[in-house]
Chains A and B, each alone.
Chain A
Amino acid sequence: EIVMTQSPATLSVSPGERATLSCRASQSIGSSLAWYQQKPGQPPRLVISGASTRATGVPARFSGSGSGTEFTLTITSLQSEDFAVYYCQQYNVWHTFGQGTKLEIK
């Protein structure tokens, strides 16, 4: 099973600043990586697929990068609605999720 490891577990950032979230796969997954945003009581919402393609309706301040085993989600000019938990997920071999990064207001 491919293991996905996210860091940090919690990230405290001020509104208007930049947030950088990391995700590492235990083996190469090419670009088969998605990022999801989840708010309390809601199902996950797709943010990025194919490691770098924004989902429909996702603002341009969200960007994804990486391939192979190292991936990054960057959110610039953080807005209040961006504070949530973010999960990475590999879909190269079925599905494995990272443990999540909680993005909180500093």
Chain B
Amino acid sequence: QLQLQESGPGLVKPSETLSLTCTVSGGSISSRTYYWGWIRQPPGKGLEWIGSINYSGTTSYKSSLQSRVTISVDTSKNQFSLRLTSVTAADTAVYYCARDPIGSYPDYWGQGTLVTVSS
């Protein structure tokens, strides 16, 4: 059974960089069938796709976040990571990682991790 687990700091200061890692178990991140994505949800609000990456490092990002987002992949560790720079309180959210089949919907999700931006 595929499992995804987010990890990283739960508190980030304004203007700093948010960094999260998603560890994939029960399957290989090197499969050519899938992208691997990040989705976030501010408290009490809706879901927002941030971006996705495949095994070779090809990425796609939400246009409004593109200047601040970097997603990377480490196939040797079966992990992919999110970096979001210059964060503000508006970036406070539960961050989910998910498996993102090509041309399809995210089908496996992590449990999510809350990241709060506050001084």
Contacts and interface: CB of A to CB of B under 8 A. Distances in A.
A and B: bona fide binding partners: yes
A91 B106 CA distance: 9
Q: Is the interface of A mostly helix, strand, loop or mixed?
A: loop
Interface in B30-79: 37, 39, 46-49, 52, 60, 62-64
A49 B103 CA distance: 12
Contacts, number: 43
B47 A44 contact: yes
A15 to B, nearest CB: 25
A94 B52 contact: yes
A94 B105 CA distance: 9
Given A34-B105, A95-B37, A43 B111 contact: yes
Given A43-B111, A95-B37, A87 B47 contact: yes
A98 B60 CA distance: 20
A46 interface: yes
A100 B48 CA distance: 11
B18 to A, nearest CB: 19
Contacts of A36: 47
A80 B60 CA distance: 39
Contacts of B110: 43
Interface of B: 37, 39, 46-49, 52, 60, 62-64, 96, 100, 103-107, 109-112
